[in-house]
Amino acid sequence: DVKVTQSSRYLVKRTGEKVFLECVQDMDHENMFWYRQDPGLGLRLIYFSYDVKMKEKGDIPEGYSVSREKKERFSLILESASTNQTSMYLCASSLGPGLAGFLLAYEQYFGPGTRLTVT
Amino acid sequence: QQQVKQSPQSLIVQKGGISIINCAYENTAFDYFPWYQQFPGKGPALLIAIRPDVSEKKEGRFTISFNKSAKQFSLHIMDSQPGDSATYFCAAINQGAQKLVFGQGTRLTINP
């Protein structure tokens, strides 16, 4: 089974703090994603990475940055946390294009989420 | 054009009834439509998916109906059970893109 783990389930930070959210996957997946989940807004993509050291902005990248130094690890960084970044953060991974069939390549596996509260 | 619109936002169904969640899209390049199921305290997990070359896909009590001309697809849960209570997300992707576009989510409650 694919396992995606996130470093914390719950996190409370103060406004202005630098926040690191870590995500690790154990299936050698090419693609990794960071989403935030807010009621009524669904899952909104913050950043994704399709290879080590490669990243692309998603729909809401403002106020966030990411780092992928190793294939299995994808970090989300809040440079200066603000109260409007209070949310559930979900990491996901997918196999990515290649020899696998289309459906297998793009199925995303999610971690359990980190509920971040910024006070 | 990249949006997927999902409705309703919340749904309450009696045990044994049929739950129906609808999604609509604009981008005709989308060619893979998965549904994800999320239980409280967990991340979403793939439930069922369909390609646009078929009009219906069934897995147990879960069925996706796909209407390519209307650019709509829906999830039907037959004989709904309390254990089906969860948040459901529809999504779409096109070949070449590597990211899913998600709908807004539907919180489903099945009353016993």
Provide the mean pLDDT of chain B: 93
Q: How does residue A107 score in pLDDT terms, banded at 50, 70 and 90?
A: confident
Q: How many domains does chain A have?
A: 1
- For B17-41, b where at least 16 C-beta lie within 10 A, e where not — what string? eebbbbbbbebeebbbbbbbbbeee
Q: CA B88, CA B73: separation in Å to the nearest integer?
A: 13
Closest CA to B19 of B67, B86, B104, B103: B86
Closest CA to B67 of B48, B54, B85, B84: B54
* pLDDT for the residue A44: 93
Q: How does residue B69 score in pLDDT terms, banded at 50, 70 and 90?
A: very high
**Residue B71 sits at the chain A interface (C-beta within 8 Å):** no
Residue A95 has pLDDT above 90, yes or no: no
Q: CA A63, CA A38: separation in Å to the nearest integer?
A: 16
A47: closest CA of chain B, how far (Å): 10
Q: Which domains does chain B have, with CATH numbers?
A: 4-111 (2.60.40.10)
B-chain residues near A43 (CB < 8 A): 44, 89, 102, 105
Q: How does residue A98 score in pLDDT terms, banded at 50, 70 and 90?
A: low
Residue A19: give the domain boundaries. 4-109
pLDDT tens sequence across A25-62 = 998 999 999 999 998 888 999 999 998 989 999 999 99
Count of CB pairs separated by less than 8 Å, A with B: 58
Determine whether the interchain pair A110/B43 forms a contact, defined as Cβ–Cβ distance below 8 Å.
Answer: yes
* pLDDT for the residue B78: 98
> Which residues of A lie inside 8 Å of B (Cβ-Cβ)?
4, 31, 33, 35, 40-45, 48, 50, 58, 90, 92, 94, 96-97, 102-103, 106-113
pLDDT above 70 covers a percentage of chain A that reads 92
Q: What is the CA radius of gyration of chain A?
A: 14
Tell me whether residue A71 is in a domain. Answer: yes
Q: CA B6, CA B100: separation in Å to the nearest integer?
A: 14
B-chain residues near A58 (CB < 8 A): 99
Tell me whether residue A119 is in a domain. Answer: no
* pLDDT for the residue B94: 80
Tell me whether residue A117 is in a domain. Answer: no
Here the CATH number for the domain that contains residue A83 is 2.60.40.10
The DSSP letter of residue B32 is B
Q: How does residue B1 score in pLDDT terms, banded at 50, 70 and 90?
A: low
Distance of CA B79 to the CA centre of its chain: 17
Whether the CB-CB separation of B103 and B90 falls below 8 Å is answered with yes
**Cis peptide before A112, with omega less than 30 degrees from 0?**
no
**Nearest chain B residue to A48, by CA:** B99
Whether the CB-CB separation of A10 and B41 falls below 8 Å is answered with no
Distance of CA A13 to the CA centre of its chain: 18
Q: CA A73, CA A26: separation in Å to the nearest integer?
A: 9
